[in-house]
Amino acid sequence: MVAKQLEGKFLSASIMQQVKKDISCFPSPPRLVSLLIGSDSGALSYAKIQESACKAVGILFELVKFPASTSQEEAIDYIVKLNNDPNVTGIMVFVPVPDHIDKNSLIASISHLKDVEGISPTNMGKLFYDNSSIVPCTPKAVMLLIKSIDYDLAGKEVVVISRSPIIGQPLLLMLLESTNKSPTPTCCHIATQNLALHTKRADVVIVAAGKANLIHGEMLKEGAVVIDVGINLVEKEQNGKKSRLIVGDVHYDSAMNVASWLTPVPGGVGLVTTAVLLQNVSLLAKQHFARLES
């Protein structure tokens, strides 16, 4: 079997078009403030992507950069200021943060009314109880991609390779959401002893381990749907020339021969993640204007 590419660009474009339309009806444009502490290259590239995506739909965007030496107190003080600033619609903090800062304390200081990634304790709690509006962007992007190919998850074996609080854990909650039609999710991670044992029997494999080429074709069941969330920068040498390129966690060529669908990297989940982030900004703005009216 040769897999079909499950591209992110069509889904992402249609989400962004809807967001643009919704925003044009608001009394004022929403504003997203993204905080970068330090200079992680993945976070920097996501910041650039956010900037151009926001511009395309009419969201005001501000990237606030703090040096890596910033203390936790300083960062939290700044977040509290943003919480209280009526001109700020949404707030996010890029991960990773420097080691001396407790990531969870930062996330917990973001008001749930401005938590554009849906990862504050309140929004995570709502997700746990199955009644959320703002949900984490990448897990939502994965669910939308699977839906976009009309794939019925009911009764399927789904293997998620990630236990992170931003991707794996919320994704597991979302997979379990739909009452008795749920698939059966299994949570694997980077310390799972025999990964192939799990992936071999999976109808759907979703991998976000941050390790290039972790999943090879021979680890997959024939016809599996494979969603590659990984974004890894690798160095490649060709004709004596070194270059850097972005690859996922899946060995693309071997997986293409076994899977039925495979998301490319770049051009897959990442594009939809960004679109969902904008959708969340728009949703927060809508809720904000609704509160002003009531």
Ligand X SMILES: Nc1nc(=O)c2c([nH]1)NC[C@@H]1CN(c3ccc(C(=O)N[C@@H](CCC(=O)O)C(=O)O)cc3)C=[N+]21
**Residues at the annotated binding site for NADP(+)?**
190, 231
Q: Contact, 188 vs 159, CB < 8 A? A: yes
Provide the 8-state DSSP code for 123: H
State which residue, 141 or 153, has the beta carbon closest to ligand X.
141
Q: x-or-dash pattern for ligand X, window 191-210, by CB under 6 A? A: --------------------
Residues in contact with ligand X, total (CB under 6 A)? 22
Which burial class, exposed, middle or buried, applies to 41 when counting CB atoms under 10 A from its CB (0-12, 13-18, 19+)?
exposed
51 touches 38 (CB < 8 A): no
Distance CA 98, CA 109 (A): 17
Q: Which of residues 74-103 bind ligand X (CB under 6 A)?
A: 92-95
Residue 67 or 266: the one with the smaller Cβ distance to ligand X is: 266
Closer Cβ to ligand X, 121 or 155, answer by number: 121
Q: Nearer to ligand X by C-beta: 36 or 153? A: 36
Smallest distance, Å, CB 235 to ligand X? Answer: 16
Our finding on whether 276 is near ligand X (CB under 6 A) is no
Query: Measured over all CA atoms, what is the biggest interatomic distance in the chain, rounded to whole angstroms?
Result: 66
State the Cα–Cα distance between residues 70 and 56, nearest whole angstrom.
32
What gap in Å lies between CA 99 and CA 151, rounded to an integer?
Answer: 40
42 binds ligand X (CB under 6 A): yes
Which one among 18, 26, 29, 45 touches ligand X, defined by CB under 6 A? 45
Give the position of tokens 């707030």: 91
d(CA 263, CA 11): 12
| Nearest CB to ligand X, comparing residues 181 and 236 | 236
> With binding defined as CB under 6 A, does residue 246 bind ligand X?
yes
What number of helices (H) and strands (E) belong to the chain? Answer: 10, 11
- How many CA atoms does the CB half-sphere of 293 hold within 13 Å? 8
Binding-site member from 90, 139, 217, 270 for ligand X (CB under 6 A):
270
**Cβ at position 218, least distance to ligand X in Å:** 25
**CA–CA separation, 63 vs 23, rounded Å?**
20
CB 222 to ligand X: min, Å = 27
**Which residue's beta carbon is nearest to the bound ligand X?**
270
| Residue 62 vs 218, nearer CB to ligand X | 62
Binding site for ligand X (CB under 6 A): 42-43, 45-46, 49, 92-95, 117, 137-138, 166, 231, 246, 265-267, 270-271, 273-274
